[in-house]
Structure 1
Amino acid sequence: MADWDDLKVFLAVARGESLSRAGRVLKLDAATVGRRVARLEQALDARLFTRSPQGYVLTDEGGRLVAHAEAIETAMERAAEALAGPSEGISGQIRIGAPDGCANYLLPQVVAGIVAQNPGLEVQIVALPRVFNLSRREADMVIAVSKPEQGRVIATKITDYHLHLAASDRYLREAPPLKTLADLRAHRVIGYIPDMIFDRELDYLADLGVEQPPMASNSVSVQLNLIRQGAGVGVAHDFALPAAAGVRRVLTSDFSLTRAFWLIRHADDRKLPRIERFAAALVAGMRAEMRALEGQLQDG
């Protein structure tokens, strides 16, 4: 018979695909993690992982065990919340995965407000320009720029956001005139590295016919800093521009994009009041902050 502690180790290895990564999550050394996996395999009389130099890969038996272990994990979390008693506040640790633009220019002020009202809450923001894997529990919830088409998840539309061409005042003073989209041919354009665009919703320059920008980054923050330094013209999030002194929108009547942020969560997490309360506060806070940030813009 397997115990919950060993199943918890099993889930960490399944999600991290290595003993060392699982150990960091669990605060155990890799050797201990390995012994616990071996003990679970012996108890179940099943081989749960295939070991290789590249890591630990689930076997068919291990894959079947994951769903049952996650159900137990959810039940244990619900039990812990029930034992803690009713509470209006939010406590514990919650990890959010988000694209770096959202994580840098929108989430900090929203999360700071939520934590200020919930002293027992610990929030981790993981800012990476890529898609997060909820099944591996890389995060408790994810902010995405497109709604997932499959998977056992809850997808909630948070808010629309807008993007426009932007440039620094310094660049506009020194560069050729920029009065129409056709004038862009005489300007340096900043954008994403084409083969590192992780979601089709981020292919902003396709609408402008720009396939290979002369200056590019996989990071929204780097792109905005290039614009701030007068390196050229780029597509910028309206909500990020209040943080970029000396940068303004240009050609707003000729070029405008609307995208959306979605909050993606595990389907089982609808049973966890703590996660439900945090998700509601996050969505409300992001909507309010978006209205405030997009309301203070300077055009050129």
Structure 2
Amino acid sequence: MDANWDDLRLFLAVAREQSLSGAGKLLRLDPATLGRRMQRLEAALQATLFVKSPQGYALTDAGQSLLARAEAVERAMRSAVADLPAATAGLSGQIRIGAPDGCANYLLPQVCAAISDQNPDLDVQIVALPRVFNLSRREADMAVAVSAPTAGRLVVQKITDYKLHLVASEAYLAAHPPIDDMQDLQRHRVVGYIPDMIFDRELDYLSDLGLARVPLASNSVSVQINWIRQGGGIGIAHDFSVPAMPGVRRILTDKIGLTRSFYLIRHADDQRNPRLSRFAQALTAGLRAEVLRLEALA
């Protein structure tokens, strides 16, 4: 879909004021322009968000659902913006982050760019690897992981939950039999991880769905997503990656949904390092806000 935070910001104003004129005054926007933006948002979401009448704009059920998610994004973004300057002001030197490639491709670049904007002397390195990082060997200063390690002198902090769903390209769906329930999945080509290269049980999504055969498999999330975008088949994707996949949509959302978590892993000795602690604080706040923002757009 083609929606962004600016669309959601305008939507919030219209929903709260229940009129284009009232929202236009707050936003200093012409009501006609605002009306066109709401039409564009409805088209992007393929949903009717408002019931229009002489009395104003009333939210539909779809609008109420979007309102709750948009308000959560708004709160998270305000919190992140408020936290980042105090947490990161004056950081310098090099910080290396290890992460699985889903997080490394779709979350860390924009979060770290925001931190770097406030700290021009800071060098951030993102190492995307489909395996667990060894902080004891100093492969990275900190790592994002999909499960909490139970051994080693490590400090573990839960960052946030995130959601995953089955996705497919519009082109694939148009060219293949319909997918209305779980049984239909057996007739479709599946994209996923190479089974014997899954480095964390939390990534074994397809087993949870009873799909044993993976005709198109890679240890890279990016390769899987490109296969799906090109119409190769159906697969599991993070909701936060869906806005970056034009022409791809979630399927069977009322029947299949997975929830996983990201954890920030640091070496225990680094707790006494104020520079790394300030960066970790900013990184955690930024990741939470970005997951909420992107999931609201999925």
What is the TM-score when the length of structure 2 is the normalising length?
0.70
Q: Is the 8 A contact 2:89 2:119 kept in 1?
A: no
1:60-118: per-residue Cα shift (whole Å, max 9, x none)? xxxxxxxxxxxxxxxxxxxxxxxxxxx94211100000001100011000000000001
Aligned to 2:170: 169
Q: Report matched runs for 1:210-289 at 5 Å.
A: 210-289=211-290
1:24-64: per-residue Cα shift (whole Å, max 9, x none)? xxxxxxxxxxxxxxxxxxxxxxxxxxxxxxxxxxxxxxxxx
Aligned to 1:151: 152
2-structure distance, mates of 1:111, 1:291: 16
Aligned to 2:291: 290
Code of the residue aligned with 1:221 in structure 2: it is S
2-structure distance, mates of 1:131, 1:91: 27
Q: CA deviation at 1:210?
A: 1.4
1-structure distance, mates of 2:89, 2:214: 50
Aligned to 1:204: 205
1-structure distance, mates of 2:155, 2:227: 36
2-structure distance, mates of 1:134, 1:210: 34
Q: Report matched runs for 1:97-176 at 5 Å.
A: 97-176=98-177
Aligned length: 211
Identical aligned pairs, as a percentage?
67
Q: Which consecutive residues of structure 2, in runs of 5 or more, have no partner in the other structure?
A: 1-87
If asked which structure has higher relative contact order (CA below 8 Å, sep 6+), I would say 2
Aligned to 2:41: none
Q: Is the 8 A contact 2:89 2:118 kept in 1?
A: no
1-structure distance, mates of 2:89, 2:179: 54
Q: Is the 8 A contact 1:194 1:212 kept in 2?
A: no
Q: CA deviation at 1:284?
A: 0.3
Could you say what secondary structure the match of 1:295 adopts?
A: helix
Could you say what secondary structure the match of 2:98 adopts?
A: strand
1-structure distance, mates of 2:131, 2:220: 10
1-structure distance, mates of 2:199, 2:116: 30
The structure with the larger Rg is 1
2-structure distance, mates of 1:272, 1:207: 40
Code of the residue aligned with 2:248 in structure 1: it is V
Q: CA deviation at 1:212?
A: 2.5
1-structure distance, mates of 2:93, 2:275: 8
1:216-273: per-residue Cα shift (whole Å, max 9, x none)? 1000111011000001110011001111110000000111000000000010101111
1-structure distance, mates of 2:89, 2:250: 42
2-structure distance, mates of 1:177, 1:186: 10
Could you say what secondary structure the match of 2:172 adopts?
A: helix
Code of the residue aligned with 2:106 in structure 1: it is Y
Code of the residue aligned with 1:142 in structure 2: it is A
Q: CA deviation at 1:215?
A: 0.7
2-structure distance, mates of 1:212, 1:151: 35
Q: Is the 8 A contact 2:95 2:124 kept in 1?
A: yes
Aligned to 1:83: none
- Range with bigger deviation, 206-215 or 178-187: 206-215
2-structure distance, mates of 1:88, 1:98: 24
What is the TM-score when the length of structure 1 is the normalising length?
0.69
Q: CA deviation at 1:151?
A: 1.0
Q: CA deviation at 1:187?
A: 0.6
Instruction: Spell out structure 1 runs of 4+ moving beyond 4 A.
Output: none
